[in-house]
Amino acid sequence: MHPRPHPIHGHTRPRPVTALAALGLLLACGAATAQVANAINVAALVTGVSEDKPTSSLRTPCGSQCVWATASAVATTDSYTVSPGPLVPLAWPTWVGTRPAVQDALTEPLEVVLPATGGSATWTGLASGKLHRAEVHNDLYAWMGSARQQLSTESFRVGSGSATVSYAVRIQNTSGAPQAQWLEFSVPQALPAFEVARNDYGGSNGFTPETAHPRQQATRSAVDVVVDGLTVWSSATHRLQPRRVPGQHGPLLLRTGAGLGPQPKVLLFLGRVPAMATIHVTLLLRTDARLDAPTCLHESEFGGSYMRCHAHREVLSIPSASSLASGGQMRPVVDVFLN
C-alpha cells in the first residue's frame, strides 16, 4: 500500500480519527522511504547506465504496461545424469495476463525398482515414500488445506530430477519520458529433507553406528532474476559430493547470494527505461537433485529387519498470498512498480 496526500480542511485542530490517519500516513511514508533506501540498484545491468535511485517513495502498480506469463516444468529419471531428459509432455502450459498468475501444478513420478534382499527386510526412505519425483505443487485456494505452494525434486538411491517455475513479465514504457521501474518479490525458502543409509546397531558389539555416504551427489535450490537474458540477482543453496572426494563427512553445503530463507521482500531498482522502450524480466525458481547412492545398510532392531537407503528431497517454497481481487486464489508475491 502506497501513501497518498491526506489534506485536512476546515479544522484548526484535527479530530482524533484524523490525527490517527495522519500518524499512519507518516509511518507509511517512513516505511516506504526506508524500503526504497534499501533497494538494490541494478540499473547499470539493465539499461547500461549507472544512475542513482529515485528519492521519492511514491510508486504505482504497473497495470496495463505489464504482460505476465507463468510457466512450470518437471523432469525425472532413475539414473545419475547432468540432465534428467526431455520435459514431460505439455510441461509449459503458459498463462498470460496483466497480473502474475499462479503456477500450473505438475508432477512426474517414477517407480523405484528395489533389488532382491533375499529376506523380508522392509525398505525405508523419506516419509513421502521410496520414489523419484519432480513436482510443482499448487493449492489454489487459501482455505483448502495448508495452501502449499512449492516445487520439489526427490531421488531415492540413484536418480535425477528437475522442477522449474518462471514468472516472466514484459514491461513497456508507453509514456513520452524515461520511467523508473522496480521489481519486488518475496524470497523463496529452501526446505531440504534427506535420509541417510545407516545402521545404528552395527559393528561386532552391535552398538556401533555405521553410515554409507553417496558416491556422488549434487542438489540445488536456486532463484534468479533475469532481465533481457542477463542475470541481475541470484541466490542458491547447493549440496555437493564429488565422486573423486570420499564422502566421509557428508556433502559440502554451499550458499551463494543473499540466502534462501525467511527475510524481507527484495526490491530491485531496474533503472529509468527510455520512452517507448520494452524490457523483459523473469523470476526463475529451480530445484535439482542428482543422487548416486546405491549402497544401503541392513539394520535389525526391536524384532524388525530394515534396509536403510539414502534419499534426498529438495524443496523450494513459492511465497504466495490470497486476495479478494483473485477470488481468494493464492498468487505469487511478485510485482512491478513504476514512478
pLDDT tens sequence across 142-179:
544 445 789 999 999 999 999 999 999 999 999 989 99
Q: For residue 5, is it within any domain?
A: no
Cell output for 52? 542513482
Q: For residue 57, is it within any domain?
A: yes
171-215, pLDDT tens digit by residue?
999 998 999 999 999 999 999 998 888 888 776 666 778 888 888
Q: For residue 177, is it within any domain?
A: yes
65-89, pLDDT tens digit by residue?
999 988 888 999 888 987 776 666 4
For 12, 86, 183, 231, the CA distances from 224, given in Å and listed in that order, are 53, 22, 13, 7
Q: For residue 10, is it within any domain?
A: no
pLDDT over 70 at 37, yes or no: no
Are 101 and 70 in contact, with CB atoms under 8 Å apart? yes
Q: For residue 2, is it within any domain?
A: no
- As a whole-number percent, the residues of the chain with pLDDT over 90 amount to 39
Q: Which residues, in sequence order, are CB contacts of 201 under 8 Å at separation 6+? A: 207, 209, 299, 300, 301
Identify the burial level of 282 via C-beta atoms within 10 angstroms of its C-beta, where 0-12 means exposed, 13-18 middle and 19 or more buried. middle
* Residue 160 vs residue 299, higher pLDDT: 160
User: Positive or negative CA dihedral for 144, 222, 102, 273?
Assistant: positive
- Residue 162's domain comprises 16-338
What's residue 304's pLDDT? 79
CA distance 268 to 283: 12
HSE toward the beta carbon, residue 73, CA cutoff 13 A: 19
Q: For residue 118, is it within any domain?
A: yes
238-296, pLDDT tens digit by residue?
998 887 776 666 788 899 998 887 777 899 999 999 999 999 999 999 999 999 999 88
Q: For residue 249, is it within any domain?
A: yes
Domain count, the chain: 1
Q: For residue 9, is it within any domain?
A: no
pTM: 0.82
